[in-house]
């Protein structure tokens, strides 16, 4: 090379852009670190406090000591049994209503007036029918003879005034009572009364003999029964609202705590079979650990390990995007949107624990559907699987087939929306996702020997998750399009 050629060469290094590149990578991987920290903050169990998931009859691999005092709750069945027993101690409340007796007296006056007019006009049959009393010709003849109407009027009035004011409920009401005692309220005064001391409708009718105007006449008794039956009004009324209120108040007093496990107490020993009592203690400890907001008893080393574990799982997706979808990785807005979608799934999975540990409710279909619409199906499928592993690796979801269920639902969501062109295709996607969930639940039941009822229950939760995820994806997609600058096929 000549001296002139060497002189024309520029041997100065161009200005380095390394700081900008490092900053760009730091921002994108900083999103991963924030997600790992968020996951740990919401699912903080780490270190030795990760309680093993065991079933009754299993052999405990390690000794479990209660790290703090906690309550062992009663099962819903136990609470319901105790609540029902407590509620049964509240007698039914019957309220005396004198208006029934007053109404019967008014009706009696009207009936007698019509019958008297019928006797005077020789139209007793028409008068009785119009008054609502159906009498045979023989009974009409009997009632019209010898001033019997006045005698019957005095007898019926005395009978109704005396018995209705004692209190008579509707037919069959007292007979349905199981308790031997009820509460009778007259005005502001309440008292206990033995059920067999109160008048039933049957004993009310039997008491007519005390004031019967013609106890030896069969026709007379038939006429009296028809008139009394027409005029009967209940004066003891079952107070449904007050009885239910008092029973519910007593039901609410049932303590949900079965017993207390003290700090340092052995929950179960190593190599010991899991008895029903040990199982409920282990389950209560796991539930308490999930409920607590801080990783009680965990060391900083354990906390760091948990955060690193979360970060390593998320790194699978971050590396995929960085190496094979550079267009997404280089666009900071795209990475921020993916971070927000991942964070939404993690937060929703934590919210799910406030209701129950149902892997069918992990909203991975939401993330898969939105990611597919924005970045195509391959990215969404890997993202769904990474999210499934991330959530299922948390102690709260271990032992409930969360990985299998979440992966199936997420992959089905990513596949089902890859060719979505119209909003109507969303319904088709929901059907495919739900079918995948149902198949997954059937597979789990076949493998574990679970009952068919659990398959239907889990499928119901999966249906709710699918519909809600699809609806949310449809609603937030315009916002995500604006955030990424991507126009999806749906739009």
What dihedral angle (degrees, nearest 10) is formed by the CA atoms of 477, 478, 484, 488?
70
More confident residue, 125 or 241: 241
Question: Residue 193 carries which DSSP code?
Answer: E
d(CA 37, CA 29): 13
| Predicted local distance difference test score (pLDDT) of residue 491 | 61
Decide if 274 contacts 268 (C-beta within 8 A).
Answer: yes
**What Cα–Cα distance (Å) separates residue 235 from each residue in 18, 155, 198?**
94, 20, 12
- Give pLDDT, residue 248: 92
Residue 184: phi and psi, rounded to 5, are: -110, 125
Please give the Cα distance from 281 to 341 (Å, whole number): 36
CA separation, residue 57 to residues 78, 238, 429 (Å): 22, 50, 42
Q: pLDDT by residue (tens digit) across 176-231?
A: 888 889 999 998 899 999 988 898 899 999 999 988 988 888 988 998 999 998 98
Run of H or E including 95: strand 93-96
Helices 402-416 and 425-448 cross at an angle (nearest 10°) of 160
Band of pLDDT at residue 7, cut at 50, 70 and 90: very low
Q: With a cut of 50, say whether residue 12 has pLDDT above it.
A: no
Answer yes or no: is pLDDT of 8 > 60.
no
Q: With contact defined as beta carbons under 8 Å apart, do 257 and 72 qualify?
A: yes
Mean predicted lDDT score pLDDT of the chain: 82
Q: Are strands 93-96 and 236-238 parallel, antiparallel or unpaired?
A: antiparallel
For the segment 63-108, what is each residue's pLDDT rounded down to a tens digit?
888 877 889 998 888 899 999 999 888 999 999 999 999 999 999 8
With vertex at residue 387, the alpha carbon angle to CA 326 and CA 34, rounded to the nearest 5 degrees, is 70
HEC-encoded secondary structure of 235-301? CEEECHHHHHHHHHHHHCCCCCEEEEECCCCEEECCCCECCHHHHHHHHHHHHHHHHCCCCCCCCHH
Q: What three-state secondary structure class fits 46?
A: coil
Query: Which letter does DSSP use for residue 50 in this model?
Result: -
Q: Name which of 390, 259, 266, 260 is nearest 318 in CA terms.
A: 390
Element (DSSP H or E) covering residue 172? none
Strand partners of residue 335: none
Which tops the pLDDT comparison, 10 or 139?
A: 139
Q: How far apart are CA 179 and CA 173, in angstroms?
A: 12
Residues 324-344 as b/e (b if ≥16 CB within 10 A, e otherwise) read: ebeebbeeeebbebbbbbbbb
Percent of the chain exceeding pLDDT 90 equals 22
- 239-243, 301-305, 308-312, 435-439: which has the minimum mean pLDDT? 301-305
How much of the chain exceeds pLDDT 70, in percent? 87
Which pair of tokens denotes residue 456? Answer: 């239907």
Q: Over 80: is that where the pLDDT of 341 sits?
A: yes
Residue-level pLDDT at 460: 85
State how far the Cα of 455 lies from the Cα of 107, in Å rounded to an integer: 61
C-alpha distance from residue 275 to each of 278, 288, 398 (Å): 5, 20, 20
pTM of the shown model = 0.52
The predicted structure's pLDDT at residue 13: 41
What six digits make up the tokens of 443? 């597979």
Q: Are 434 and 360 in contact (CB under 8 A)?
A: no
Q: Is 107 exposed, middle or buried (0-12, 13-18, 19+ CB in 10 A)?
A: middle
CA 281, CA 476: separation in Å to the nearest integer? 42
CA pair distance 93, 240, nearest whole angstrom: 8
Instruction: Provide the 10 A C-beta neighbour count for residue 490.
Output: 17
Predicted confidence at residue 235, as pLDDT, reads 92
Give yes or no for residue 490 having a pLDDT over 70: no
* Tens-place pLDDT, residues 299-335: 677 778 888 989 999 999 999 999 988 888 888 888 9
pLDDT tens readout for residues 368-423: 888 888 887 788 888 989 998 898 888 767 655 778 888 888 888 888 776 665 65
Categorize the per-residue pLDDT at 339 as very low, low, confident or very high, splitting at 50, 70 and 90: very high
CB 469 within 8 A of CB 369: yes
Q: Cβ atoms within 10 A of the Cβ of 480, count?
A: 20
């Amino acid at each position: 090379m000549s001296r002139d050629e060497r002189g024309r060469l520029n041997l100065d290094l161009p200005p380095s852009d390394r700081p900008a590149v490092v900053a760009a990578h730091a921002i994108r991987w900083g999103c991963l670190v924030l997600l790992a920290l968020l996951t740990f903050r919401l699912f903080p169990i780490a270190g030795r406090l990760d309680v093993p998931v065991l079933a009754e009859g299993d052999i405990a691999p390690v000794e479990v000591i209660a790290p703090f005092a906690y309550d062992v709750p009663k099962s819903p069945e136990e609470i319901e049994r105790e609540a029902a027993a407590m509620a049964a101690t509240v007698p039914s409340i019957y309220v005396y209503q004198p208006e029934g007796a007053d109404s019967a007296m008014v009706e009696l006056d009207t009936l007698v007036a019509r019958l008297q007019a019928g006797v005077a006009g020789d139209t007793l049959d028409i008068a009785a029918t119009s008054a609502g009393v159906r009498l045979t010709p023989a009974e009409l003849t009997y009632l019209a003879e010898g001033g019997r109407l006045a005698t019957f009027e005095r007898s019926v009035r005395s009978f109704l005034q005396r018995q209705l004011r004692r209190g008579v409920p509707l037919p069959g009401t007292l007979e349905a009572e199981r308790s031997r005692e009820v509460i009778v309220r007259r005005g502001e005064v309440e008292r206990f009364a033995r059920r067999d001391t109160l008048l039933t409708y049957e004993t009310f009718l039997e008491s007519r003999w005390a004031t019967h105007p013609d106890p030896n006449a069969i026709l007379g008794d038939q006429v009296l029964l028809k008139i009394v039956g027409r005029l009967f009004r209940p004066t003891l009324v079952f107070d449904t609202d007050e009885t239910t209120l008092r029973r519910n108040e007593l039901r609410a007093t049932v303590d949900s705590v079965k017993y207390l496990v003290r700090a340092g107490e052995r929950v179960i020993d190593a190599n010991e079979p899991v008895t029903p009592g040990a199982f409920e203690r282990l389950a209560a400890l796991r539930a308490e650990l999930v409920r607590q907001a801080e990783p009680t008893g965990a060391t900083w080393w354990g906390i760091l390990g948990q955060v690193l574990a979360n970060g390593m799982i998320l790194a699978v997706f971050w590396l995929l995007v960085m190496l094979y979808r550079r267009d997404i990785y280089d666009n900071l807005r795209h990475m921020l949107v993916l971070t927000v979608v991942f964070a939404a799934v993690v937060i929703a999975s934590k919210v799910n624990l406030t209701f129950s540990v149902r892997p069918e409710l992990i909203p991975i279909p939401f993330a898969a559907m939105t990611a597919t619409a924005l970045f195509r199906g391959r990215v969404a499928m890997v993202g769904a699987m990474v999210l499934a592993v991330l959530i299922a690796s948390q102690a709260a979801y271990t032992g409930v087939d969360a990985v299998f269920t979440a992966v199936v639902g997420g992959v089905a969501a990513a596949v089902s929306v890859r060719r979505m062109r119209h909003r109507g295709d969303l319904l088709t996607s929901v059907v495919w996702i739900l079918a995948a969930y149902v198949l997954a639940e059937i597979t789990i039941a076949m493998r574990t020997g679970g009952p068919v009822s659990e398959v239907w229950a889990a499928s119901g939760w999966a249906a709710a998750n699918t519909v809600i995820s699809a609806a949310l994806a449809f609603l937030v997609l315009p916002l995500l399009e604006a955030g990424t600058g991507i126009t999806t096929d749906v739009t």
